[in-house]
Amino acid sequence: MSRCKKGCNSQNRPHGAGHTYQDHYFQLAKKEGYLSRAVYKLMEIQRSYRILSRGMKVLDLGAAPGSWLQFTSKIVGERGYVVGIDIKPIEHNFPPHVSTIQGDMTNQEFVKSIVKQFGVFDVVMSDMAPDTIGNKHADSARSAYLVEQAFELAKRVLKPGGHFIAKIFQGEDTPLLVKAIREHFRKVKIVKPLASRKESKEVYILAMDRTTQSDNVDEN
């Protein structure tokens, strides 16, 4: 597993641990006008791997309250386009090159409508997380299921050369899932941004440069 390369070494880790550490990102998000501390995880990944760039079309799954949308929409700019989906309403007002939709990514009819409506993307990213119940096996299985849903959609809508990022609560299903993802990308890494709490099982699967074609699925 890799820590992000740039800006992610121990010297950049804020002082303190546990909640103090969490508070740092929470406070920073407040100060910088981001809707969630989650944005700093994507920022670190972006600093190290440059997966987002101007003009890209990006699909953000599990997008509420919207900090990844805020950050991504700035990077892709007005010539790019970002679609954010969440099972919860996304209430923030975004610029016109951002569309937000409320829907459940485990509902196949809803997923079908997304494929039909938006076509292909340069990047598919998922920060989806299940409501945790405190049982690490159940939580990681539910998280793996959400990653599977995101990956199934990515196989349908991600352009060759495109990138896929997905948060997962590591567990026994993770290696198999990573193996399946690896078959479609030139490079796959497991990254743990510093902004992700150390004690959390959360990591990000970062799959770069899709090597396969989009799945041909009849959407009618």
Number of H helices and E strands in the chain, helices first, is 6, 7
Nearest-angstrom CA–CA distance, 51 and 42: 10
Question: Binding mask 139-178 vs ligand SAM (x if CB under 6 A, - otherwise)?
Answer: -------x--------------------------------
Nearest-angstrom CA–CA distance, 177 and 175: 5
Identify whether 167 is a catalytic site residue.
yes
Nearer to ligand SAM, 99 or 106 (CB): 106
- Per CB under 6 A, 67 contacts ligand SAM: yes
3-state secondary structure of 91: coil
Output the smallest distance, CB 66 to ligand SAM, in A.
5
Residue list 10-49, contact with ligand SAM (CB under 6 A): 35-36, 38-39
- Per CB under 6 A, 66 contacts ligand SAM: yes
Peptide bond preceding 65 in cis form (omega within 30 of 0):
yes
**In the Cβ-directed half-sphere of 212, how many Cα atoms lie within 13 Å?**
15
Name the H helices within 33-107.
39-49, 67-76
Output the smallest distance, CB 130 to ligand SAM, in A.
6
| Given the residues 41, 155, 167, 189, the one annotated as active site | 167
- Per CB under 6 A, 202 contacts ligand SAM: no
Q: Which sequence positions are flagged as catalytic?
A: 167
